[in-house]
Amino acid sequence: MSNLIPLLSGTGVALVTPFTSSKTIDEPALARVIEHVIAGGVEYVVTLGTTGETPTLSRDEKVRIARLTIEVVNQRVPVVIGAGGSDTKEVIREIEKLPTDHAVAVLSASPYYSKPSQEGLYQHYKAIAEASPKPVILYNVPARTARNINVPTVLRLAELPNISGIKEAGGDMAQCALILRDCPENFLVVSGDDALAFPQIAIGMQGVISVAANSFPQAFSNMVRAALDGDLEKAKKINDGLIEGYELLFVENNPAGVKAAMAELGLIENELRLPLVPLSKTYHDQLRKYITSLKPKAQSLKLNAE
């Protein structure tokens, strides 16, 4: 098993895919977003996660986004590429087409809608791991897939040579604690839930793959680093100031909230592809007010690295 912990501890950001008003990929905006999050101090980037609206992207678009991301990042931070879905063979074909030679790992969301058994989940990931040229990170997000990857299945998968970690977004702290207690020492365990990242790091997770870090990379990554360093008082102080932001970013759906925030920051146009639509006016106004309020709070939130 590859040890991804030294490479992927801290904050990874699940990049949005910016669109123009005609719903084409806005490549200059994607480059701006990447520069914004790297300047904000994130430890790595994740391209083609579900925050990037991958269900609406063609394979050619996915390849172009991955290549542009790798080009703009230019080896300044590690890159993880997402490839998941309900058709195991199709996931493998997608991995074969993506520029994984420039990535450190493949993040693969578990199958959705089909609700496979635990044995089905195991065989799905086993096949992907055997075919992938890079280490595979499991992504458990049962609220979206309708099937939890249970702890025994996670631990069984963790024994496979090319499965090196999990992004855990089930929201079950007991499950997280059991995985952390029983997984191999070099198995990466990161949060997939911004609002729970602080307590999950406190019980042993190595970091988070974040949505909020698209819009608030400096504050969020400073919170994560403080928590990883054991300075829980500092981490809590920063996190307390971000709680309202987390709620607003996810109040209707992801990535409508974070795209609204990033549009307010002048990074992207507030455009999504159907069936997603922009954040409703009521919540957008609340989010605008929150973003404006962050500026005078910058010192108390310790947004600047010290």
Residue 199 tokens, joined: 């307590």
Phi and psi for 189 in degrees, rounded to 5?
A: -130, 115
CA atoms within 13 A on the CB side of 187: 24
Contact 39, 72 (CB under 8 A): no
Chain centre to alpha carbon of residue 74: 20
Which member of 122, 139, 246, 283 is catalytic? 139
Catalytic site residue 246? no
Instruction: Quote the CA–CA distance of 121 and 157 in Å, as a whole number.
Output: 9
DSSP H helical ranges for the chain: 5-8, 27-39, 59-73, 88-97, 118-131, 142-145, 151-158, 173-182, 197-202, 217-228, 232-249, 256-264, 281-294
Instruction: Quote the CA–CA distance of 47 and 17 in Å, as a whole number.
Output: 9
Residue 85 tokens, joined: 């879905």
Phi and psi for 221 in degrees, rounded to 5?
A: -70, -30
Q: CB atoms < 10 A from the CB of 127, how many?
A: 14
Catalytic site residue 139? yes
3-state secondary structure of 102: helix
Which member of 44, 122, 125, 167 is catalytic? 167
Phi and psi for 2 in degrees, rounded to 5?
A: -70, 140
Could you list the active site residues? Answer: 139, 167
